[in-house]
Amino acid sequence: MNAGKADFRYLIDSYLEWAAGQQIPVVEGLGVDLDSVATAPWPRLGGGCRAAFVHLQGRGDFLALQLIEIPPGAQMDWARHLYDEVFYVLSGRGRTSIEASVSRAFAWGPRALFSPPLNAPFRLANFSRTEPARLICGNNLPFLMNVFRSERFVFDHPFAFPERVGPAGTVSGDGAFLSVAPGRHLWETSFIPDLGAFDLPEWEARGAGNRNINIILSDSSMHAHVSEMPGGTYTKGRRHDAGVHVMAIAGSGYTLVWKEGDAAFERLELRPGSIFALTQDTLHQHFNPGAEPLRYLAISIGSDRYPMLARKLKRRQVFDASVKDGGLQIDYQDQDPRIHALWRDEIAATGAASRMEQYFEHRS
């Protein structure tokens, strides 16, 4: 009866088990400062490249982050895999080479966003001879590893997906704007050279002066969107979905988070280098008390083209509707009065001009 007890396996997370075997740092928390995360050599990348896993509390079941550091003058070995991923360049300049149905390459720098086609061989190289390049990679490897439980299958399968290789212009920064509705407009591409300089359509329903675009990268199941808040404004409160990883591109501010019934708010900093992922049904609100715009990136599983999950599809239909109408958003007039009082204190400290008072004249 006891034979094989030492090999008894029960309630296994196959992705976490695999990650532990990679012998690189695993960083956890509600949010982290990516600039301070230590990395270690990861033989899977080759070229002396270093990495760390970033497993945030709100990452959900499907998505995780890899922080990748390419030493000066180095390049990764060629890699391919059956999971979708999105790269955002934190620092440094380099090149991505792709060998799919056609060979392509493009140069990237800080604030670039890109996604190699699914299972296409690719490699990343660092142009600099003196400084490392650091990139954050969001991917759905946890889902694939928990389903197949085979490293060899996920990383070494030769099947090609030529339909994922977009037009040649998509690796030079070109793309297609797909008009849907404010907050739902799409930009389809494989590469955006600088998210800080990318034009964003208006989305007033999200909050005062808000702008936003949703991004489809290499026709993948990964979602990315970029939003921007003018100086002296804040968004409406909204119920958050697990798995959404948020990081600032330019500007700085903060995010208040809370759960239903909480007596106090928790504050998270929103600035370049910081990242957080909130747990399911956490309420949150973004604030920009500075004079300059605050622009941020969010990465998650389930794109606007391929939501993947029923709850994702439902969210996309009601995410900017009021909670009073069955949506996910709290209108300014319905928010906790403490939020605007805290805002007034914050913006008084920065000296910036508030653009929010018009929404609260009835409370004066």
Q: Determine the structural domain holding residue 35 and report its residue range.
A: 10-165
Position 1 in a domain: no
Q: Residue 149 belongs to a domain with what CATH number? A: 2.60.120.10
pLDDT of residue 128: 98
Q: Do the domain assignments include residue 3?
A: no
Whether residue 259 is contained in a domain is answered as yes
**Residue 29 resides in a domain:** yes
Instruction: Tally the domains of the chain.
Output: 2
pLDDT (tens, 9 = 90+) of the chain, 364 residues, equals 455 566 899 999 999 999 999 999 999 999 999 999 999 999 999 999 999 999 999 999 999 999 999 999 999 999 999 999 999 999 999 999 999 888 999 999 999 999 999 999 999 999 999 999 999 999 999 999 999 999 999 999 999 999 999 888 888 899 999 999 999 999 999 999 999 999 999 999 999 999 999 999 999 999 999 999 999 999 999 999 999 999 999 999 999 999 999 999 999 999 999 999 999 999 999 999 999 999 999 999 999 999 999 999 999 899 999 999 999 999 999 999 999 999 999 999 999 999 999 998 765 4
- What pLDDT does residue 348 have? 95
What phi and psi, each to the nearest 5 degrees, are found at residue 307? -65, -25
119 and 101 belong to one structural domain: yes
Per-residue confidence (pLDDT) for residue 30, from 0 to 100: 96
Q: Are residues 323 and 180 in the same domain?
A: yes
pTM of the entire predicted model: 0.96
> Is residue 2 one of the residues assigned to a domain?
no
3-state SS track over the chain: CCCCHHHCCCCCCHHHHHHHCCCCCEEEECEEEHHHCCCEECCCCCCCCEEEEEEECCCCCCCEEEEEEECCCCECCCECCCCCEEEEEEECCEEEEEECCCEEEEEECCCCEECCCCCCCEEEEECCCCCCEEEEEEECHHHHHHHHCCHHHHHHCCCCCHHHCCCHHHHCCCCEEECCCCCCCEEEECEECCHHHCCCCECHHHECCCEEEEEEECCCCEEEEEEEECCCEEECEEECCCCCEEEEEECCEEEEEECCCCCCCEEEEECECEEEECCCCCEEEEEECCCCCEEEEEEEECCCCCCCCHHHHHHHHHCCCEHHHCCCEECHHHCCHHHHHHHHHHHHHHCCCCCCHHHHHHHC
